[in-house]
Amino acid sequence: MQVTKTQVVIVGAGPSGLLLARLLARARIQSVVLEARSREYVEARIRAGVLEQGTVDLLEEAGVAARVKRSGLPHDGFELAFDGRTHRIDIHRLTGKRVTVYGQTEIQKDLADAHLSDGGTVFYEASCVKIDKIRQASPRVGFVHQSIAHEIECDFVAGCDGYHGISRKAVPTGERCYYERLYPFGWLGILVDQPPVSEELIYVNHERGFALCSMRSKSRSRYYLQCTLGDKVEEWPDERFWIELRMRLPVELGKRLVTGTSIEKSIAPLRSFVAEPMRYGRLFLVGDAAHIVPPTGAKGLNLAGSDVNILNRALVSFYRSNTLAGLDAYSGTALLRVWKATRFSWWFTSLMHRFSDDAFAHRLQLAELDYISRSESASRSFAENYVGLDFN
């Protein structure tokens, strides 16, 4: 067995894990990153692409914002489509802020390229990862890489390995509390190399179900349809998808839709999930390891960025000033923002999706959407949550 030491072990080489590693490296704090999958697998995952300004600022702090600023698409607003019409929420006028459309896949590549080129350590395809002694001053993380057993002694462990990872499971059952809401539908997503139907995102409430018109660039579009949990991807050939999407769009938008052959298609279930606390001993849960939100409003990656920001500053404070105050406050501070974003994602999901064939419930949704379209204060509240609350 190879035994080594570092300051922070980061479990998971997704965006939150690599972003934390980059920030720590710039503060001269050592870290080792472990990832169960291959680099190719991690970089091929299709995920969200709407970044809050706080996330863009954090990428800049980590030294990986060049491509975001060069290729990202700044958005000053978005459209709500309902009852056969559209209404634009001017987020920049209402809040003074913007969001940026830039695919998580590209962020993943930017982070990995920068970290590895600077000599950062990432063990891809690490198996049998085990986190031990997290209540002690020097936790241990064991794993197997290329048939060689390793053990790393460290000061802290950051669990950035997602909802299905091992980090959260390292917290004893009696020390953790879960809050969860499962939704009775999923999102069928399609990626196509065609220009988007609009320069801004369009969220659609329709009697046939929710739809979202999004993009990854000026020439690559991402579209979603609400589907049942029993639907299968193979049941949705491209032609059926485009027909259904046009049916849910207002007529004029449907006429502008440019269709094409899909280059990726998948179905994702929706859930809201929060684990408390986000810290146990010297283990800190980050991003999807601690919380999941439905993709409506694109809060998942941005919440992970907020967690990374809080934890990074707490770790820097510990190593520079030998104070545990920031680390002790991590869970409580992070959860304040997590629950607000969870509330917004739940509300937006409830507003835009069909939960049943209940016509009364649908009329209430339309009434609320009409109220938002006519009320400055309601629109401002919506916009404030959409652009993201300030990073702590």
Q: Residue 325: what residue type?
A: A
Nearest to 100 by CA among 70, 62, 64, 61: 70
Pairing of β 8-11 and β 156-159 = parallel
Which of 102, 183, 203, 224 is labelled catalytic? 203
Closest-CA residue to 370 (of 253, 167, 205)? 205
Instruction: Indicate if 299 belongs to the active site.
Output: yes
Could you say which of 115, 196, 295, 330 is catalytic? 295
295 is known as an active-site residue: yes
Percent composition of the chain: helix, strand, coil (DSSP 3-state, to 5): 40, 30, 30
Cβ contacts of residue 186 below 8 Å, gap of 6+?
A: 226, 227, 228, 229, 231, 267, 268, 269, 270
Does residue 75 have an active-site annotation?
Answer: yes
Given the residues 299, 330, 353, 362, the one annotated as active site: 299
* CA–CA gap between residue 103 and residue 179 (Å, rounded): 29
Task: Tell me if residue 178 is catalytic.
Answer: no
Closest CA to 222 of 243, 201, 208: 201
Q: How far apart are CA 19 and CA 110, in angstroms?
A: 10
- Residue 371 bears catalytic tag: no
Chain position carrying tokens 């998808």: 241
Q: Please classify residue 377 by burial: count the beta carbons closer than 10 Å to its beta carbon, then call 0-12 exposed, 13-18 middle and 19+ buried.
A: exposed
Catalytic residue among 75, 150, 206, 353: 75
Question: Distance of CA 266 to CAs 163, 208, 385, Å?
Answer: 18, 20, 28
Q: Give me the sheet containing 291-292, strands edge to edge.
A: 85-89, 78-82, 202-205, 211-215, 221-227, 177-192, 262-276, 291-292
Supply the residues annotated as catalytic.
75, 203, 295, 299, 386
